[in-house]
Structure 1
Protein backbone atom coordinates (compact mmCIF):
# COMPACT_ATOMS: atom_id res chain seq x y z
CA UNK A 1 0.00 0.00 0.00
CA UNK A 2 1.34 3.43 -0.97
CA UNK A 3 2.06 5.74 1.93
CA UNK A 4 -0.31 8.56 2.73
CA UNK A 5 0.67 12.00 1.43
CA UNK A 6 0.05 15.06 3.57
CA UNK A 7 -1.30 18.17 1.80
CA UNK A 8 -1.09 21.88 2.60
CA UNK A 9 -2.98 24.63 0.78
CA UNK A 10 -2.04 28.29 0.33
CA UNK A 11 -5.27 30.27 0.04
CA UNK A 12 -8.85 29.57 1.05
CA UNK A 13 -10.68 31.37 -1.75
CA UNK A 14 -12.78 29.98 -4.59
CA UNK A 15 -10.21 27.26 -5.32
CA UNK A 16 -8.55 26.54 -1.99
CA UNK A 17 -11.66 26.26 0.18
CA UNK A 18 -13.40 23.92 -2.26
CA UNK A 19 -10.30 21.73 -2.38
CA UNK A 20 -9.88 21.78 1.40
CA UNK A 21 -13.48 20.66 1.92
CA UNK A 22 -13.07 17.81 -0.54
CA UNK A 23 -9.89 16.60 1.16
CA UNK A 24 -11.51 16.86 4.59
CA UNK A 25 -14.43 14.76 3.35
CA UNK A 26 -11.90 12.05 2.55
CA UNK A 27 -9.62 11.22 -0.39
CA UNK A 28 -7.76 7.93 -0.23
CA UNK A 29 -4.04 8.40 0.23
CA UNK A 30 -4.25 12.13 0.99
CA UNK A 31 -4.59 14.02 4.28
CA UNK A 32 -5.02 17.78 4.64
CA UNK A 33 -2.75 19.00 7.45
CA UNK A 34 -2.28 22.75 6.98
CA UNK A 35 -3.65 25.85 5.27
CA UNK A 36 -2.56 29.48 5.04
CA UNK A 37 -4.91 32.41 4.45
CA UNK A 38 -4.69 36.19 4.48
CA UNK A 39 -7.89 36.65 6.52
CA UNK A 40 -7.26 34.53 9.61
CA UNK A 41 -10.67 35.06 11.22
CA UNK A 42 -12.52 34.14 8.04
CA UNK A 43 -10.30 31.10 7.63
CA UNK A 44 -11.04 29.90 11.16
CA UNK A 45 -14.76 30.30 10.52
CA UNK A 46 -14.53 28.33 7.26
CA UNK A 47 -12.57 25.53 8.94
CA UNK A 48 -14.80 25.30 12.01
CA UNK A 49 -17.07 22.67 10.50
CA UNK A 50 -14.30 20.39 9.23
CA UNK A 51 -14.14 16.83 10.52
CA UNK A 52 -10.40 17.21 11.04
CA UNK A 53 -9.52 20.92 10.93
CA UNK A 54 -6.03 21.53 9.48
CA UNK A 55 -3.53 23.79 11.19
CA UNK A 56 -3.67 27.46 10.18
CA UNK A 57 -0.04 28.34 9.48
CA UNK A 58 2.24 30.85 7.76
CA UNK A 59 3.14 30.52 4.08
CA UNK A 60 6.60 29.20 4.91
CA UNK A 61 5.20 26.57 7.28
CA UNK A 62 3.12 25.01 4.50
CA UNK A 63 6.28 23.21 3.38
CA UNK A 64 5.91 20.82 6.32
CA UNK A 65 3.52 18.83 4.08
CA UNK A 66 4.49 16.41 1.32
CA UNK A 67 2.37 18.33 -1.20
CA UNK A 68 1.94 22.12 -1.26
CA UNK A 69 -0.93 23.47 -3.34
CA UNK A 70 -0.84 27.15 -4.33
CA UNK A 71 -4.37 28.56 -4.64
CA UNK A 72 -3.62 32.15 -3.73
CA UNK A 73 -3.19 35.54 -5.45
CA UNK A 74 -0.31 35.54 -7.91
CA UNK A 75 1.44 38.21 -5.82
CA UNK A 76 2.48 35.63 -3.21
CA UNK A 77 3.21 32.84 -5.69
CA UNK A 78 6.97 33.00 -5.22
CA UNK A 79 6.80 32.82 -1.42
CA UNK A 80 4.78 29.63 -1.57
CA UNK A 81 6.79 28.12 -4.40
CA UNK A 82 10.23 28.80 -2.94
CA UNK A 83 9.34 27.34 0.47
CA UNK A 84 7.98 24.16 -1.11
CA UNK A 85 10.84 23.75 -3.58
CA UNK A 86 13.60 24.41 -1.03
CA UNK A 87 12.05 21.71 1.17
CA UNK A 88 12.01 19.25 -1.73
CA UNK A 89 8.21 18.95 -1.76
CA UNK A 90 5.68 18.37 -4.51
CA UNK A 91 4.47 21.83 -5.56
CA UNK A 92 1.11 22.12 -7.33
CA UNK A 93 0.46 25.66 -8.61
CA UNK A 94 -2.95 26.93 -9.67
CA UNK A 95 -1.39 30.26 -10.74
CA UNK A 96 0.85 28.58 -13.29
CA UNK A 97 0.97 31.83 -15.27
CA UNK A 98 3.25 33.08 -12.49
CA UNK A 99 5.63 30.22 -13.24
CA UNK A 100 6.45 31.40 -16.77
CA UNK A 101 8.71 34.31 -15.71
CA UNK A 102 10.19 32.17 -12.93
CA UNK A 103 11.52 29.14 -14.74
CA UNK A 104 14.59 29.30 -12.49
CA UNK A 105 12.34 27.59 -9.95
CA UNK A 106 12.27 24.52 -12.20
CA UNK A 107 16.08 24.43 -12.21
CA UNK A 108 16.12 24.81 -8.43
CA UNK A 109 13.58 21.99 -8.02
CA UNK A 110 15.91 19.77 -10.00
CA UNK A 111 18.63 20.52 -7.43
CA UNK A 112 16.49 19.99 -4.31
CA UNK A 113 14.54 16.97 -5.54
CA UNK A 114 11.24 18.85 -5.54
CA UNK A 115 8.62 18.31 -8.22
CA UNK A 116 6.39 20.93 -9.86
CA UNK A 117 3.14 19.45 -11.13
CA UNK A 118 0.89 21.79 -13.11
CA UNK A 119 -2.76 20.65 -13.10
CA UNK A 120 -4.93 20.93 -16.19
CA UNK A 121 -7.00 23.58 -14.43
CA UNK A 122 -9.77 25.09 -16.56
CA UNK A 123 -8.35 23.62 -19.77
CA UNK A 124 -8.65 20.35 -21.68
CA UNK A 125 -6.60 18.24 -24.01
CA UNK A 126 -3.16 18.77 -22.47
CA UNK A 127 -2.38 15.07 -22.89
CA UNK A 128 -2.93 15.41 -26.64
CA UNK A 129 -0.88 18.62 -26.81
CA UNK A 130 2.01 17.02 -24.91
CA UNK A 131 1.91 14.03 -27.24
CA UNK A 132 1.91 16.25 -30.34
CA UNK A 133 4.82 18.27 -28.93
CA UNK A 134 6.97 15.11 -28.94
CA UNK A 135 6.97 15.61 -32.72
CA UNK A 136 6.85 18.63 -35.01
CA UNK A 137 4.32 21.36 -34.14
CA UNK A 138 3.88 24.38 -36.39
CA UNK A 139 1.44 26.41 -34.26
CA UNK A 140 -0.53 26.47 -31.01
CA UNK A 141 -3.26 29.06 -30.46
CA UNK A 142 -5.68 29.60 -27.58
CA UNK A 143 -8.67 31.93 -27.85
CA UNK A 144 -10.18 32.90 -24.49
CA UNK A 145 -13.59 34.56 -24.26
CA UNK A 146 -14.90 35.81 -20.94
CA UNK A 147 -17.76 38.02 -19.77
CA UNK A 148 -16.21 41.49 -19.33
CA UNK A 149 -16.57 41.40 -15.52
CA UNK A 150 -14.32 38.35 -15.47
CA UNK A 151 -11.41 40.45 -16.77
CA UNK A 152 -11.70 43.37 -14.34
CA UNK A 153 -8.48 44.18 -12.53
CA UNK A 154 -6.02 42.88 -15.14
CA UNK A 155 -2.85 45.04 -15.26
CA UNK A 156 -2.95 45.10 -19.08
CA UNK A 157 -6.32 46.90 -19.00
CA UNK A 158 -5.00 49.60 -16.67
CA UNK A 159 -1.83 50.05 -18.72
CA UNK A 160 -3.80 50.54 -21.93
CA UNK A 161 -6.77 52.45 -20.51
CA UNK A 162 -9.32 49.77 -21.41
CA UNK A 163 -12.62 49.93 -19.52
CA UNK A 164 -14.16 46.49 -19.97
CA UNK A 165 -17.30 47.60 -18.13
CA UNK A 166 -18.06 49.89 -21.09
CA UNK A 167 -17.79 47.10 -23.67
CA UNK A 168 -21.12 46.21 -25.29
CA UNK A 169 -20.04 43.93 -28.15
CA UNK A 170 -17.47 41.09 -28.35
CA UNK A 171 -14.08 42.83 -28.39
CA UNK A 172 -10.58 41.48 -28.91
CA UNK A 173 -8.55 43.17 -26.17
CA UNK A 174 -5.27 41.25 -26.42
CA UNK A 175 -3.32 39.26 -28.98
CA UNK A 176 0.23 38.13 -28.32
CA UNK A 177 2.27 35.28 -26.92
CA UNK A 178 1.58 33.38 -23.71
CA UNK A 179 4.46 35.02 -21.85
CA UNK A 180 3.07 38.54 -22.41
CA UNK A 181 -0.47 37.36 -21.71
CA UNK A 182 0.56 35.92 -18.35
CA UNK A 183 2.12 39.23 -17.35
CA UNK A 184 -0.84 41.32 -18.49
CA UNK A 185 -3.59 39.03 -17.22
CA UNK A 186 -2.10 37.11 -14.25
CA UNK A 187 -5.50 36.05 -12.89
CA UNK A 188 -7.01 35.14 -16.25
CA UNK A 189 -4.60 33.17 -18.40
CA UNK A 190 -3.33 30.30 -16.29
CA UNK A 191 -4.93 28.18 -19.02
CA UNK A 192 -2.62 29.72 -21.62
CA UNK A 193 0.39 29.17 -19.38
CA UNK A 194 -0.49 25.50 -18.86
CA UNK A 195 -0.93 25.08 -22.62
CA UNK A 196 2.43 26.72 -23.30
CA UNK A 197 4.21 24.52 -20.77
CA UNK A 198 2.61 21.39 -22.20
CA UNK A 199 3.34 22.31 -25.79
CA UNK A 200 5.88 24.48 -27.62
CA UNK A 201 6.68 27.12 -25.03
CA UNK A 202 5.31 30.57 -24.13
CA UNK A 203 7.02 32.51 -26.92
CA UNK A 204 5.51 30.35 -29.68
CA UNK A 205 2.04 29.96 -28.13
CA UNK A 206 -0.40 32.58 -29.47
CA UNK A 207 -3.09 33.95 -27.14
CA UNK A 208 -6.22 35.91 -27.98
CA UNK A 209 -8.34 37.34 -25.16
CA UNK A 210 -11.85 38.57 -25.86
CA UNK A 211 -14.20 40.51 -23.61
CA UNK A 212 -17.40 38.96 -24.88
CA UNK A 213 -20.80 40.22 -23.79
CA UNK A 214 -22.54 37.30 -25.52
CA UNK A 215 -21.02 34.56 -23.32
CA UNK A 216 -21.90 33.61 -19.76
CA UNK A 217 -19.12 31.05 -19.40
CA UNK A 218 -15.34 31.33 -19.56
CA UNK A 219 -14.67 29.77 -22.97
CA UNK A 220 -11.31 28.52 -24.25
CA UNK A 221 -10.66 27.21 -27.75
CA UNK A 222 -7.33 25.54 -28.54
CA UNK A 223 -6.05 24.99 -32.07
CA UNK A 224 -2.90 22.95 -32.72
CA UNK A 225 -1.30 22.28 -36.08
CA UNK A 226 1.18 19.42 -35.80
CA UNK A 227 2.76 16.81 -38.01
CA UNK A 228 0.91 14.09 -36.11
CA UNK A 229 -2.53 15.69 -35.79
CA UNK A 230 -4.69 18.77 -36.10
CA UNK A 231 -6.42 19.53 -32.81
CA UNK A 232 -9.37 21.82 -32.16
CA UNK A 233 -10.84 21.78 -28.66
CA UNK A 234 -13.30 24.03 -26.86
CA UNK A 235 -14.29 24.11 -23.20
CA UNK A 236 -16.97 26.33 -21.65
CA UNK A 237 -16.43 26.70 -17.91
CA UNK A 238 -19.02 27.93 -15.43
CA UNK A 239 -17.49 30.88 -13.53
CA UNK A 240 -17.22 30.60 -9.75
CA UNK A 241 -19.69 32.72 -7.78
CA UNK A 242 -16.87 33.79 -5.43
CA UNK A 243 -14.50 34.79 -8.21
CA UNK A 244 -15.74 35.13 -11.82
CA UNK A 245 -12.15 34.96 -13.10
CA UNK A 246 -12.02 31.32 -11.92
CA UNK A 247 -13.98 28.44 -13.40
CA UNK A 248 -15.77 25.97 -11.13
CA UNK A 249 -13.85 23.14 -12.77
CA UNK A 250 -10.46 24.47 -11.56
CA UNK A 251 -10.55 23.11 -7.98
CA UNK A 252 -11.95 19.85 -9.33
CA UNK A 253 -8.99 19.61 -11.70
CA UNK A 254 -6.53 20.10 -8.84
CA UNK A 255 -8.35 17.45 -6.80
CA UNK A 256 -8.08 15.03 -9.73
CA UNK A 257 -4.38 15.89 -10.02
CA UNK A 258 -3.83 15.11 -6.33
CA UNK A 259 -5.71 11.82 -6.61
CA UNK A 260 -3.35 10.85 -9.40
CA UNK A 261 -0.40 11.12 -7.01
CA UNK A 262 -1.57 8.14 -4.99
CA UNK A 263 -4.11 6.23 -7.09
CA UNK A 264 -3.40 2.65 -8.17
CA UNK A 265 -5.00 3.26 -11.58
CA UNK A 266 -4.20 6.54 -13.31
CA UNK A 267 -5.70 7.42 -16.68
CA UNK A 268 -3.80 9.99 -18.75
CA UNK A 269 -0.77 11.96 -17.74
Structure 2
Protein backbone atom coordinates (compact mmCIF):
# COMPACT_ATOMS: atom_id res chain seq x y z
CA UNK A 1 0.00 0.00 0.00
CA UNK A 2 1.44 3.33 -1.00
CA UNK A 3 2.06 5.93 1.70
CA UNK A 4 1.40 8.74 -0.76
CA UNK A 5 -1.78 10.74 -0.38
CA UNK A 6 -3.51 12.00 -3.47
CA UNK A 7 -3.58 15.78 -3.27
CA UNK A 8 -6.64 17.49 -4.73
CA UNK A 9 -5.61 20.15 -7.19
CA UNK A 10 -6.65 23.68 -6.35
CA UNK A 11 -8.36 25.46 -9.22
CA UNK A 12 -6.96 28.91 -10.02
CA UNK A 13 -8.77 31.82 -11.67
CA UNK A 14 -7.14 35.02 -12.89
CA UNK A 15 -8.91 38.37 -13.16
CA UNK A 16 -7.09 40.51 -15.71
CA UNK A 17 -4.65 39.58 -18.46
CA UNK A 18 -2.21 42.47 -18.40
CA UNK A 19 1.53 42.01 -17.88
CA UNK A 20 1.12 40.19 -14.57
CA UNK A 21 -1.92 38.08 -15.46
CA UNK A 22 -0.36 36.93 -18.73
CA UNK A 23 2.85 35.89 -16.96
CA UNK A 24 0.85 33.90 -14.42
CA UNK A 25 -1.03 32.11 -17.19
CA UNK A 26 2.28 31.09 -18.79
CA UNK A 27 3.71 29.75 -15.53
CA UNK A 28 0.56 27.90 -14.50
CA UNK A 29 0.42 26.35 -17.95
CA UNK A 30 3.96 25.07 -17.44
CA UNK A 31 2.80 23.53 -14.19
CA UNK A 32 2.80 24.37 -10.48
CA UNK A 33 2.46 21.46 -8.06
CA UNK A 34 -1.12 21.03 -6.84
CA UNK A 35 -2.56 23.90 -8.88
CA UNK A 36 -4.47 24.09 -12.17
CA UNK A 37 -5.56 27.14 -14.13
CA UNK A 38 -9.28 26.82 -14.85
CA UNK A 39 -10.65 30.30 -15.61
CA UNK A 40 -9.79 33.86 -16.55
CA UNK A 41 -11.81 37.06 -16.67
CA UNK A 42 -10.92 39.95 -18.95
CA UNK A 43 -12.68 42.98 -20.40
CA UNK A 44 -11.98 41.88 -23.97
CA UNK A 45 -12.91 38.19 -24.19
CA UNK A 46 -11.83 37.83 -27.81
CA UNK A 47 -8.38 39.16 -26.99
CA UNK A 48 -8.27 36.91 -23.93
CA UNK A 49 -9.02 33.91 -26.14
CA UNK A 50 -6.10 34.90 -28.37
CA UNK A 51 -3.77 35.09 -25.38
CA UNK A 52 -4.92 31.66 -24.21
CA UNK A 53 -4.34 30.03 -27.58
CA UNK A 54 -1.96 27.13 -27.08
CA UNK A 55 -2.62 26.82 -23.34
CA UNK A 56 -3.13 23.22 -22.25
CA UNK A 57 -6.56 22.15 -21.07
CA UNK A 58 -9.85 24.01 -21.14
CA UNK A 59 -9.76 27.51 -19.65
CA UNK A 60 -13.14 29.16 -19.15
CA UNK A 61 -13.34 32.84 -20.11
CA UNK A 62 -15.96 34.36 -17.85
CA UNK A 63 -17.16 37.58 -16.23
CA UNK A 64 -15.43 38.49 -12.97
CA UNK A 65 -18.56 37.68 -10.94
CA UNK A 66 -18.38 34.08 -12.21
CA UNK A 67 -14.77 33.35 -11.27
CA UNK A 68 -15.75 32.01 -7.85
CA UNK A 69 -17.78 29.26 -9.54
CA UNK A 70 -14.77 28.05 -11.50
CA UNK A 71 -11.90 28.47 -9.03
CA UNK A 72 -10.78 27.87 -5.44
CA UNK A 73 -8.26 30.71 -5.62
CA UNK A 74 -8.77 33.91 -7.61
CA UNK A 75 -5.87 36.24 -8.39
CA UNK A 76 -6.79 39.91 -8.89
CA UNK A 77 -4.60 41.50 -11.59
CA UNK A 78 -7.07 44.21 -12.53
CA UNK A 79 -7.62 47.96 -12.02
CA UNK A 80 -8.07 48.90 -8.36
CA UNK A 81 -11.70 49.92 -8.81
CA UNK A 82 -12.60 46.28 -9.59
CA UNK A 83 -11.20 44.77 -6.38
CA UNK A 84 -14.56 44.66 -4.61
CA UNK A 85 -16.40 43.14 -7.56
CA UNK A 86 -13.73 40.46 -7.89
CA UNK A 87 -13.27 39.69 -4.21
CA UNK A 88 -16.85 39.66 -2.89
CA UNK A 89 -18.16 36.54 -4.71
CA UNK A 90 -14.95 34.66 -3.89
CA UNK A 91 -15.07 35.48 -0.20
CA UNK A 92 -18.80 34.76 0.09
CA UNK A 93 -18.01 31.30 -1.26
CA UNK A 94 -15.42 30.82 1.50
CA UNK A 95 -12.56 30.82 -0.99
CA UNK A 96 -9.25 32.67 -1.36
CA UNK A 97 -8.52 35.86 -3.27
CA UNK A 98 -4.98 37.13 -3.88
CA UNK A 99 -5.12 40.92 -4.12
CA UNK A 100 -2.41 42.85 -5.95
CA UNK A 101 -4.24 46.21 -5.91
CA UNK A 102 -4.09 46.21 -2.13
CA UNK A 103 -4.37 49.99 -1.94
CA UNK A 104 -8.07 49.48 -2.67
CA UNK A 105 -8.42 47.48 0.54
CA UNK A 106 -8.01 50.61 2.66
CA UNK A 107 -11.50 51.74 1.63
CA UNK A 108 -12.87 48.19 1.58
CA UNK A 109 -11.86 46.71 4.93
CA UNK A 110 -15.40 45.31 5.01
CA UNK A 111 -13.96 42.63 2.72
CA UNK A 112 -11.92 41.39 5.68
CA UNK A 113 -15.12 41.06 7.69
CA UNK A 114 -16.72 39.23 4.76
CA UNK A 115 -13.81 36.80 4.63
CA UNK A 116 -14.05 36.20 8.37
CA UNK A 117 -17.80 35.58 8.22
CA UNK A 118 -17.61 33.03 5.40
CA UNK A 119 -14.27 31.35 6.05
CA UNK A 120 -12.55 32.98 3.07
CA UNK A 121 -9.12 34.56 2.95
CA UNK A 122 -7.49 37.62 1.41
CA UNK A 123 -3.79 37.22 0.60
CA UNK A 124 -1.64 40.28 -0.13
CA UNK A 125 1.61 39.12 -1.75
CA UNK A 126 4.93 40.80 -1.05
CA UNK A 127 4.88 42.18 -4.58
CA UNK A 128 7.59 44.68 -5.49
CA UNK A 129 8.70 45.07 -1.89
CA UNK A 130 10.96 43.08 0.38
CA UNK A 131 11.27 42.44 4.07
CA UNK A 132 7.57 42.01 4.85
CA UNK A 133 8.43 38.89 6.86
CA UNK A 134 10.62 41.03 9.11
CA UNK A 135 7.97 43.77 9.40
CA UNK A 136 5.27 41.22 10.23
CA UNK A 137 7.48 39.67 12.89
CA UNK A 138 8.32 43.10 14.34
CA UNK A 139 4.59 43.88 14.52
CA UNK A 140 4.19 41.05 17.03
CA UNK A 141 6.00 43.43 19.39
CA UNK A 142 6.05 47.23 19.14
CA UNK A 143 7.00 49.11 15.99
CA UNK A 144 7.95 52.70 16.72
CA UNK A 145 8.17 53.99 13.13
CA UNK A 146 8.09 52.93 9.48
CA UNK A 147 9.38 55.20 6.73
CA UNK A 148 9.64 54.51 3.03
CA UNK A 149 11.24 56.46 0.19
CA UNK A 150 10.21 55.56 -3.35
CA UNK A 151 12.09 56.75 -6.42
CA UNK A 152 10.60 56.04 -9.83
CA UNK A 153 11.28 56.84 -13.48
CA UNK A 154 9.15 59.77 -14.61
CA UNK A 155 7.08 57.75 -17.09
CA UNK A 156 5.95 55.42 -14.31
CA UNK A 157 4.33 58.31 -12.43
CA UNK A 158 2.83 60.45 -15.20
CA UNK A 159 -0.96 60.64 -14.96
CA UNK A 160 -1.23 59.80 -11.26
CA UNK A 161 -4.35 61.45 -9.74
CA UNK A 162 -2.28 63.35 -7.14
CA UNK A 163 -0.24 65.00 -9.89
CA UNK A 164 -3.29 65.76 -12.03
CA UNK A 165 -5.31 67.19 -9.14
CA UNK A 166 -2.44 69.40 -8.00
CA UNK A 167 -1.39 70.49 -11.50
CA UNK A 168 2.09 69.03 -11.09
CA UNK A 169 3.81 68.49 -14.46
CA UNK A 170 6.78 66.15 -14.24
CA UNK A 171 7.27 65.19 -17.89
CA UNK A 172 10.08 67.71 -18.45
CA UNK A 173 11.93 67.42 -15.13
CA UNK A 174 15.71 67.18 -15.54
CA UNK A 175 16.69 66.27 -11.99
CA UNK A 176 15.16 64.29 -9.08
CA UNK A 177 11.98 65.96 -7.80
CA UNK A 178 10.14 65.14 -4.58
CA UNK A 179 6.48 65.05 -5.58
CA UNK A 180 4.85 63.67 -2.43
CA UNK A 181 5.36 63.39 1.30
CA UNK A 182 2.67 61.95 3.55
CA UNK A 183 1.05 58.79 4.82
CA UNK A 184 0.47 55.47 3.10
CA UNK A 185 -3.28 56.14 3.11
CA UNK A 186 -2.81 59.46 1.30
CA UNK A 187 -0.41 57.84 -1.18
CA UNK A 188 -2.88 55.05 -1.97
CA UNK A 189 -5.48 57.63 -3.00
CA UNK A 190 -3.07 59.83 -4.93
CA UNK A 191 -1.11 57.09 -6.70
CA UNK A 192 -3.47 54.07 -6.94
CA UNK A 193 -1.54 52.37 -9.75
CA UNK A 194 1.91 52.97 -8.28
CA UNK A 195 2.01 52.52 -4.53
CA UNK A 196 0.45 49.20 -3.59
CA UNK A 197 3.85 48.44 -2.11
CA UNK A 198 3.49 51.00 0.67
CA UNK A 199 0.00 49.74 1.50
CA UNK A 200 1.35 46.19 1.82
CA UNK A 201 4.04 47.59 4.11
CA UNK A 202 1.43 49.44 6.16
CA UNK A 203 -0.83 46.41 6.50
CA UNK A 204 2.13 44.30 7.64
CA UNK A 205 3.25 46.89 10.17
CA UNK A 206 1.68 49.88 11.94
CA UNK A 207 -1.13 50.79 9.58
CA UNK A 208 -1.69 53.30 6.77
CA UNK A 209 -1.92 56.40 8.95
CA UNK A 210 1.42 55.93 10.74
CA UNK A 211 3.46 54.64 7.80
CA UNK A 212 5.28 57.59 6.22
CA UNK A 213 6.25 57.89 2.56
CA UNK A 214 8.20 60.12 0.20
CA UNK A 215 7.89 59.80 -3.58
CA UNK A 216 10.56 61.10 -5.97
CA UNK A 217 10.35 61.36 -9.76
CA UNK A 218 13.85 60.77 -11.12
CA UNK A 219 14.51 61.14 -14.88
CA UNK A 220 17.84 59.30 -14.55
CA UNK A 221 16.26 56.09 -13.26
CA UNK A 222 15.19 53.05 -15.25
CA UNK A 223 14.16 51.00 -12.21
CA UNK A 224 11.65 51.52 -9.41
CA UNK A 225 13.58 51.92 -6.14
CA UNK A 226 12.15 51.50 -2.64
CA UNK A 227 13.97 52.15 0.64
CA UNK A 228 12.41 51.16 3.96
CA UNK A 229 13.46 52.09 7.48
CA UNK A 230 11.83 50.32 10.44
CA UNK A 231 12.46 50.92 14.13
CA UNK A 232 10.93 48.52 16.66
CA UNK A 233 11.52 47.07 20.10
CA UNK A 234 12.83 43.86 18.50
CA UNK A 235 15.00 45.21 15.69
CA UNK A 236 15.87 48.25 13.63
CA UNK A 237 16.48 47.59 9.96
CA UNK A 238 16.84 49.26 6.58
CA UNK A 239 16.00 47.65 3.26
CA UNK A 240 16.51 48.72 -0.34
CA UNK A 241 15.27 47.16 -3.57
CA UNK A 242 15.49 48.14 -7.25
CA UNK A 243 12.76 46.62 -9.40
CA UNK A 244 12.98 46.14 -13.16
CA UNK A 245 9.69 47.27 -14.78
CA UNK A 246 7.61 45.16 -17.16
CA UNK A 247 6.37 46.65 -20.44
CA UNK A 248 3.95 48.49 -18.12
CA UNK A 249 6.23 51.03 -16.37
CA UNK A 250 3.96 51.06 -13.32
CA UNK A 251 4.52 47.35 -12.63
CA UNK A 252 7.76 45.54 -11.76
CA UNK A 253 8.66 42.09 -13.06
CA UNK A 254 8.98 40.81 -9.52
CA UNK A 255 5.24 41.38 -8.91
CA UNK A 256 4.21 38.32 -10.94
CA UNK A 257 7.08 36.31 -9.45
CA UNK A 258 5.85 37.23 -5.96
CA UNK A 259 2.41 35.82 -6.78
CA UNK A 260 4.01 32.67 -8.15
CA UNK A 261 5.93 32.30 -4.89
CA UNK A 262 2.64 32.54 -2.97
CA UNK A 263 1.05 29.92 -5.21
CA UNK A 264 3.96 27.50 -4.84
CA UNK A 265 3.79 27.80 -1.04
CA UNK A 266 0.15 26.76 -1.03
CA UNK A 267 1.00 23.16 -1.93
CA UNK A 268 4.73 22.94 -1.28
CA UNK A 269 5.95 20.18 1.06
CA UNK A 270 8.59 22.64 2.31
CA UNK A 271 7.61 26.21 3.05
CA UNK A 272 10.34 28.78 3.75
CA UNK A 273 9.44 32.16 5.23
CA UNK A 274 6.77 33.41 7.59
- Could you tell me how far apart the structure 2 residues matched to 1:26 and 1:52 are? 12
1:63 matched to 2:65? The reply is no
- Which of 131, 134, 151 is 2:157 aligned to? 151
Give CA deviations for 1:148-201 in whole Å, capped at 9, x if unaligned. 100122111111011121222111111111111111111100100100010111
Q: Which has the larger radius of gyration?
A: 2
Sort the Cα spacing of 1:126 and 1:43 in 2 relative to 1 into closer, same or farther, 3 A. same
- Which of 17, 24, 31 is 2:29 aligned to? 24
For residue 113 of structure 2, give the secondary structure of its aligned residue in structure 1: helix
- Which of 169, 175, 180 is 1:174 aligned to? 180
1:183-222 equivalence runs, <5 A: 183-222=189-228
For residue 17 of structure 1, give the secondary structure of its aligned residue in structure 2: helix
- Give me the CA root mean square deviation: 0.9
1:227 matched to 2:253? The reply is no
Q: CA deviation at 1:83?
A: 1.6
- Could you tell me how far apart the structure 2 residues matched to 1:53 and 1:197 are? 37
1:248 matched to 2:253? The reply is yes
Look up the match of 1:106.
112
- Could you tell me how far apart the structure 2 residues matched to 1:83 and 1:158 are? 34
Q: Is there any run of 5+ residues in structure 1 with no aligned partner, and where?
A: none
For residue 19 of structure 2, give the secondary structure of its aligned residue in structure 1: coil
TM value normalised by structure 2: 0.96
1:10 matched to 2:19? The reply is no
- Could you tell me how far apart the structure 2 residues matched to 1:89 and 1:68 are? 8
- Superposition misfits of 4+ residues, deviation over 4 angstroms: none
Q: CA deviation at 1:109?
A: 0.7
1:100-139 equivalence runs, <5 A: 100-139=106-145
Q: CA deviation at 1:129?
A: 0.5
- Which of 43, 51, 63 is 2:48 aligned to? 43
For residue 51 of structure 1, give the secondary structure of its aligned residue in structure 2: coil
For residue 226 of structure 2, give the secondary structure of its aligned residue in structure 1: strand
Aligned residues: 268
For residue 87 of structure 2, give the secondary structure of its aligned residue in structure 1: helix
Give CA deviations for 1:92-131 in whole Å, capped at 9, x if unaligned. 0011111111111101110011001110000100000011
- Could you tell me how far apart the structure 1 residues matched to 2:153 and 2:142 are? 35
Question: Does the 8 A contact of 1:47 with 1:53 survive in 2?
Answer: no
- Could you tell me how far apart the structure 1 residues matched to 2:109 and 2:173 are? 36
TM value normalised by structure 1: 0.97
Look up the match of 2:272.
267
Q: CA deviation at 1:226?
A: 0.9
Q: CA deviation at 1:17?
A: 0.6
